């Protein structure tokens, strides 16, 4: 009888230790994930502040990061006139370019252009940027041959400015 009670206590102790270890691991994973997101949140906050200050963005809807020849942070949002704006901010130098979304292509239109041309299996990234002093959509995708492709699509008319297959 005592042996049975001791065995149950021992089993309960082992189960509690396993649960404690799992809990510590989960907390550790959460802390690591939270810390890894901190720079992204900081950059997004700074870019949102610039978009609000320089372009009058009142409500931020989207945030993009694009790396062409340099890094660009783009904030998508609406102003007091309910116009949807894209505010492209160069990481180096901080040059700000404000684009009215109605003056260019939407993400869906860009996807349609690439889909008609290449029939991609998957899109990885579609983000606004500046290329040769003109606004573009930077698009990364996997083509039918499972090759990573990179394309720069002109913001205003959808012309493909650069296409790199099998990056």
The domain total for the chain is 1
Which residues make Cβ contacts (< 8 Å) with residue 124, sequence separation at least 6?
Answer: 140, 141, 142, 148
CA gap 48, 67 in Å, rounded: 18
Which residues make Cβ contacts (< 8 Å) with residue 113, sequence separation at least 6?
Answer: 105, 153, 158, 160
Its sign, for the CA torsion 107, 75, 72, 102, is: positive
Residue 5 has pLDDT above 90, yes or no: no
CA gap 82, 75 in Å, rounded: 15
Residue 92 has pLDDT above 90, yes or no: no
Give domain status of residue 67, yes or no: no
Say what the alpha-carbon torsion angle 59, 90, 73, 86 is, to the nearest 10 degrees. 40
CATH number at residue 151: 3.10.450.40
Q: Which domain holds residue 130?
A: 107-164
pLDDT in tens, 108-163: 999 999 999 889 999 999 999 999 989 999 999 999 888 999 999 999 999 999 99
Strand (E) or helix (H) holding 2: helix 2-55
Give domain status of residue 148, yes or no: yes
């Amino acid at each position: 009888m005592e042996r049975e009670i001791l065995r149950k206590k021992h089993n309960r102790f082992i189960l509690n230790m396993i649960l404690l270890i799992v809990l510590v691991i989960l907390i550790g994973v959460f802390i690591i994930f939270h810390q890894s997101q901190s720079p992204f949140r900081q950059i997004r906050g700074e870019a949102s502040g610039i978009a609000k200050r320089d372009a009058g963005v009142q409500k931020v809807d989207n945030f993009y990061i694009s790396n062409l020849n340099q890094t660009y942070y783009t904030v998508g949002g609406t102003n007091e006139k309910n116009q949807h704006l894209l505010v492209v901010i160069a990481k180096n130098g901080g040059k700000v370019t404000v684009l009215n979304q109605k003056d260019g292509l939407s993400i869906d239109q860009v996807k349609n252009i690439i889909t008609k041309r290449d029939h991609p299996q998957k899109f990885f990234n579609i983000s606004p940027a500046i290329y040769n002093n003109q606004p573009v959509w930077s698009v990364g995708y996997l083509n039918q041959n499972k090759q990573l492709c990179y394309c720069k699509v002109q913001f205003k008319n959808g012309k493909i400015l650069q296409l790199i297959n099998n990056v």
